[in-house]
C-alpha cells in the first residue's frame, strides 16, 4: 500500500519546482495552482498599481492633449453599456432564465465596480493596461494572463481584490485576497477587451509614434550640434 502511495505522488510540472502536485489530478503544486488561478499563468506576476502608474500618466496626458475629443465620452459610454448588459444578465437570471453561473458572477462583479468607481476611472485603467501590454509584452505570459491582470486592476478600483479580517491569535487585522472563479474572470476579461481593446491599441500606437518622433528630434539636434564650428 505504501509503495502504491509513493507511486501516486507526482512532481509539479513547472520547471524547477520540486514540490508535489496539489492532488493526483492536478499537474501543479498548491503554490503554482493558486498562482494560475489568481494571475492567469503559473509564472505570471501580478501587475500592481505602481506598475501601471506610468501608463496611466500617458493616458491622462493624451486625454488632456485632446480634451475636446468625443472619444472619451464614447469610451465612458462603452463602460456604461457594459454595465447595462451586466444588469440585464442579472435580471434575466433572477427571472428564472437559465444562465451560466460564471457569466452571472461576472455580471455581479461589473455592477459592483460600477457602484464604486467612476466610468472614466475604469476607462483610464483599461486603456493603461493595453498600453502597458504593448510597451512591456514580456510582463504578460499569455493573452489569458493579460486579461486576468486587466480584470484585477479594474476590480481594484472598487477595492474588490482584497478584504480584511481580524486575526485574534495575532491580535491584528489581516488582508485576504478575494478570488473570483477563473471562468467568471475570463468572461469579464472578454467584456473589457471588447469594450476597450481597439482604443487601447490605438493609444499605444500614438505613444509609439510620439516616442519615435522625439527620438528623431534628439538625433537631429545631436547631429546639428556636432556640425557646429
d(CA 135, CA 204) in angstroms, rounded, equals: 8
Q: What local confidence, expressed as pLDDT, does residue 5 receive? A: 47
The pTM of the full predicted model, rounded to 2 decimals, is 0.83
- Could you give phi then psi for residue 107, rounded to 5 degrees? -60, -45
d(CA 143, CA 91) in angstroms, rounded, equals: 31
Is 80 exceeded by the pLDDT of residue 168? no
> If you average pLDDT over residues 82-94, what whole number do you get?
97
Band the pLDDT of 172: cuts 50, 70, 90.
Answer: low
Of the ranges 49-58, 102-111, 150-159, 170-179, which one carries the lowest mean pLDDT score?
170-179
Q: What local confidence, expressed as pLDDT, does residue 166 receive? A: 52
DSSP assignment letter at 22: S
Band the pLDDT of 175: cuts 50, 70, 90.
Answer: low
In this predicted model, which residue has the larger pLDDT, 57 or 163? 57
C-alpha cell at 130: 493595453
Instruction: Assign 99 to helix, strand or coil.
Output: coil
In this predicted model, which residue has the larger pLDDT, 25 or 150? 150
d(CA 18, CA 54) in angstroms, rounded, equals: 37
Q: What is the pLDDT of residues 46-59, one digit of tens each?
A: 999 999 999 999 99
Percentage of the chain beyond pLDDT 90 is: 70
Q: What local confidence, expressed as pLDDT, does residue 8 receive? A: 62
In this predicted model, which residue has the larger pLDDT, 47 or 4? 47
d(CA 164, CA 173) in angstroms, rounded, equals: 7
User: Could you write out the DSSP letters of every residue in 90-146?
Assistant: HHHHHTT----HHHHHHHHHHHHHHHHS-HHHHHHHHHHHHHHHHH-GGG-SSHHHH
Is 50 exceeded by the pLDDT of residue 3? no
Contact call for residues 9 and 20 (beta carbons, < 8 A): yes
Percentage of the chain beyond pLDDT 70 is: 88
Is 70 exceeded by the pLDDT of residue 170? no
Q: What is the mean pLDDT of the chain?
A: 89
Contacts for 203-206: CB closer than 8 Å, 24+ residues apart: 203/58, 203/59, 203/62, 203/127, 203/130, 203/131, 204/130, 204/131, 204/133, 204/134, 204/135, 205/134, 206/62
> If you average pLDDT over residues 182-200, what whole number do you get?
97
In this predicted model, which residue has the larger pLDDT, 74 or 30? 74
C-alpha cell at 150: 486587466
d(CA 26, CA 124) in angstroms, rounded, equals: 38
Amino acid at each position: 500500500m505504501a509503495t502504491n502511495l509513493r507511486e501516486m505522488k507526482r512532481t509539479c510540472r513547472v520547471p524547477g519546482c520540486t514540490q508535489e502536485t496539489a492532488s493526483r489530478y492536478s499537474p501543479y503544486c498548491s503554490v503554482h495552482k493558486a498562482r494560475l488561478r489568481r494571475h492567469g499563468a503559473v509564472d505570471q506576476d501580478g501587475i500592481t498599481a505602481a506598475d501601471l502608474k506610468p501608463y496611466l500618466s500617458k493616458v491622462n496626458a493624451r486625454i488632456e492633449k485632446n480634451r475636446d475629443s468625443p472619444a472619451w465620452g464614447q469610451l465612458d459610454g462603452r463602460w456604461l453599456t457594459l454595465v447595462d448588459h451586466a444588469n440585464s444578465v442579472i435580471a434575466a437570471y433572477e427571472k428564472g432564465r437559465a444562465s451560466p453561473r460564471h457569466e452571472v458572477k461576472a455580471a455581479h462583479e461589473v455592477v459592483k465596480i460600477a457602484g464604486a468607481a467612476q466610468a472614466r476611472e475604469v476607462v483610464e485603467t483599461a486603456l493603461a493596461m493595453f498600453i502597458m501590454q504593448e510597451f512591456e509584452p514580456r510582463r504578460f505570459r499569455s493573452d489569458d494572463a493579460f486579461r486576468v491582470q486587466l480584470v484585477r486592476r479594474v476590480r481594484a478600483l472598487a477595492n474588490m481584490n482584497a478584504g480584511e479580517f481580524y486575526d485574534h491569535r495575532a491580535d491584528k487585522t489581516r488582508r485576504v485576497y478575494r478570488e473570483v472563479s477563473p471562468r467568471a474572470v475570463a468572461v469579464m476579461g472578454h467584456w473589457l477587451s471588447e469594450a476597450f481593446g481597439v482604443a487601447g491599441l490605438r493609444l499605444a500606437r500614438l505613444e509609439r509614434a510620439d516616442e519615435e518622433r522625439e527620438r528623431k528630434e534628439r538625433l537631429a539636434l545631436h547631429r546639428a550640434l556636432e556640425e557646429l564650428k
